[in-house]
Amino acid sequence: QKEVEQNSGPLSVPEGAIASLNCTYSDRGSQSFFWYRQYSGKSPELIMSIYSNGDKEDGRFTAQLNKASQYVSLLIRDSQPSDSATYLCAASGSSASKIIFGSGTRLSIRP
Amino acid sequence: EPEVTQTPSHQVTQMGQEVILRCVPISNHLYFYWYRQILGQKVEFLVSFYNNEISEKSEIFDDQFSVERPDGSNFTLKIRSTKLEDSAMYFCASSEVTGRELFFGEGSRLTVL
């Protein structure tokens, strides 16, 4: 069973600090990796995608991928209360016709 | 901005009844998906669909489930005989390229009594 693993949290970070979210995946054939944000009762919203090793930055968000370690991370700089949500890590399967999700990390930004 | 739309937003049904959940994917997307999320649990893959065929399905997607693209815009999920454990939020998603970014609809909450 191919899995995506995340620490469930909650992760509590002061406003203005950096939030660091981590994820590991088991399928070495995975090629595409994603971070989604999900507010309570809402649908997942895409934050970032990353396909190659290294860092990818988009505004306050930086995704990092290390395929050798099967590890994906998301950094959120200058955390805001509106960043409080559950963050879902996702990875494509070897066949690319499905994307599987981790169970999510709850992030709480305290004022 | 293009979006995935789902109907109904909430459906309550009796155990054993058939349910059809509807989705309109983003217009230039070719790959369609259904996921479900039981309250408090993870987003689970059900099925992917391309070119009028199922590409991949999970163990959850048994004979009680079926998907269809009845016309050029709609994508449906049918549950033939609902069980209590089918109560969940069902999300439709679409992507332009397989294995790339999924864009989700707002979800259809199914409550089976």
Residue range A70-103, pLDDT digits in tens: 999 999 999 999 999 999 999 998 888 899 999 9
Beta carbon pairs, A and B, within 8 Å: 59
Contact A44 B55 (CB under 8 A): no
pLDDT in tens, B12-50: 999 999 999 999 999 999 999 999 999 999 999 999 999
Q: What is the pLDDT of residue B94?
A: 97
Minimal CA–CA distance to A49: which of A99, A105, A106?
A99
**In terms of CA atoms, which chain A residue is nearest residue B99?**
A96
pLDDT digits (tens, 9 = 90+) for B59-110: 999 999 999 998 888 999 999 999 999 999 999 999 999 889 999 999 999 9
